[in-house]
Amino acid sequence: MTARSVQCPYKLASRMLHPDSTVVQVGRLAIGGSTPVVIAGPCSVENRDQILDIAQRVQKLGAHMLRGGAFKPRSSPYSFQGLGETGLQFLAEAGQATGLPVVSEVMDIENLSMICEYVDVLQIGARNMQNYPLLKAVGKTTKPVILKRGLAATIEEWLLSAEYILNEGNPNVVLCERGIRTFETSTRNTLDLNAVPVVKELSHLPIIVDPSHGTGVARYVSAMSLAAVAAGADGLMLEVHTSPETALSDGPQSLTPDEFGLLMSRMETLVSWANTVEEVPVHG
Ligand code: PEP
Ligand code: MN
């Protein structure tokens, strides 16, 4: 079967052409392997003490990777925009202190090579999912990329964005479902967990879920995290803050370390239960 003969707009991202699931390696950590990977940390790096403290806490509670934004895509130009390179220095230091690999968002090509010096994984945010020059640029790097789903993107458009990165020679793409815009106003976004089995069927790429942005409400994050793992997600991205009420961004959706710890123990129970359940044949 040649790529041309398949009625599928993406080729490199397609499971039809690449039946084996991709495992993205971040040092010793495998995303897309047998256990879900947990990426935790604040929405924004705010200062050195903040990121070092949160990093140590989430590491002790079982996180596998540390997140922290230094270049923030904010709806208002008057909101905190991130610490820029200084924030990345603090993030990298926190990563080294805890042994956790770090991920941070890249918003423009101009800062890409500088950001690559500090992070293990690049994040493309929802607002940039269709920034094609940026996708091509990260596709030319050797860093794994977490590609968030656009606010109003279909799964096909999302996979085509992944295709842009793969097409430049970077095979290490992890998709991240972070909720989409719908008519619903009870939550910040509607977390589309349908995307997990759909993406698993259509693509060989790993998919993780971000229930923090997906709900926008800290008290809903735990339920949706467990649901995501039960649906087969390869991991979670979770915002954690020691003082959500004073966070410079996304406080209302951030878990405290205690809440994060409770979720981690619930998840452990869920994962060990899931491992005991034999796969049931399905049709349709
Ligand atoms: C974030 O991870 O803090 C972020 C801005 O996410 P998204 O691009 O999904 O809104
Ligand atoms: Mn955020």
Give 104-126 as a DSSP string.
EE---GGGHHHHHTT-SEEEE-G
Backbone angles phi, psi at 67, to 5 degrees: -110, 160
Statement: residue 244 has pLDDT above 90: yes
Cα distances (angstroms) measured from residue 97 to each of 53, 59, 92, 146: 10, 10, 9, 23
User: Which pLDDT value is given to residue 47?
Assistant: 98
User: Which pLDDT value is given to residue 276?
Assistant: 80
Give 59-108 as a DSSP string.
HHTT-SEEE-BSS---SSTTS----THHHHHHHHHHHHHHT--EEEE---
Q: Where are the alpha helices (DSSP H) in 122-256?
A: 132-139, 155-167, 195-202, 211-215, 218-230
Q: pLDDT digits over 149-172, tens only?
A: 999 999 999 999 999 999 999 999
Mean pLDDT of 166-193: 98
Q: Which residue in this structure is represented by tokens 């039946």? A: 19
Quickly count helices (H) and strands (E) in the chain.
9, 10
Protein residue with its CA nearest to atom 10 in ligand 1: 126
Structural domains of the chain, ranges and CATH numbers in brackets: 9-70+82-264 (3.20.20.70)
CA of 127 to the centre of ligand 1 (A): 8
CA max distance for the chain: 56
Amino acid at 192: D
Q: Which residue in this structure is represented by tokens 């079982």? A: 62
**Among 158, 144, 241, 168, CA closest to 195:** 158
Ligand 1, residues at Cβ distance < 6 Å: 43, 69, 73, 125-127, 148, 178, 213
Q: pLDDT digits over 250-280, tens only?
A: 999 999 999 999 999 999 999 888 878 766 6
Query: In which band, very low, low, confident or very high, does the pLDDT at 183 lie, cut at 50, 70 and 90?
Result: very high
Any residues with CB less than 8 A from the CB of 211 and at least 6 apart, and which?
191, 220, 221, 224, 225, 228, 236, 238
Q: pLDDT digits over 111-145, tens only?
A: 999 999 999 999 999 999 999 999 999 999 999 99
Q: pLDDT digits over 198-238, tens only?
A: 999 999 999 999 999 999 999 999 999 999 999 999 999 99
User: Which pLDDT value is given to residue 284?
Assistant: 67
Instruction: Return the ligand 1 atom nearest residue 44 CA.
Output: 3
Statement: residue 281 has pLDDT above 70: no
Protein residue with its CA nearest to atom 6 in ligand 1: 125
Protein residue with its CA nearest to atom 9 in ligand 1: 126
Query: In which band, very low, low, confident or very high, does the pLDDT at 6 lie, cut at 50, 70 and 90?
Result: low
Q: Which residue in this structure is represented by tokens 């735990």? A: 222
Mean pLDDT of 8-19: 95
Cα distances (angstroms) measured from residue 54 to each of 172, 229, 254: 27, 23, 12
pTM of the shown model: 0.95
Q: pLDDT digits over 16-60, tens only?
A: 999 999 999 999 999 999 999 999 999 999 999 999 999 999 999
User: Which pLDDT value is given to residue 4?
Assistant: 53
Q: Residue 273, SS3?
A: helix
Instruction: Return the ligand 1 atom nearest residue 67 CA.
Output: 2
Statement: residue 7 has pLDDT above 70: yes
Taking the CA of 75 as reference, the closest ligand is 1
Backbone angles phi, psi at 205, to 5 degrees: -75, 145
User: Which pLDDT value is given to residue 54?
Assistant: 98
Pairing mode, if any, of strands 37-41 and 235-239? parallel
User: Residues of the chain with pLDDT > 70: what percent?
Assistant: 95
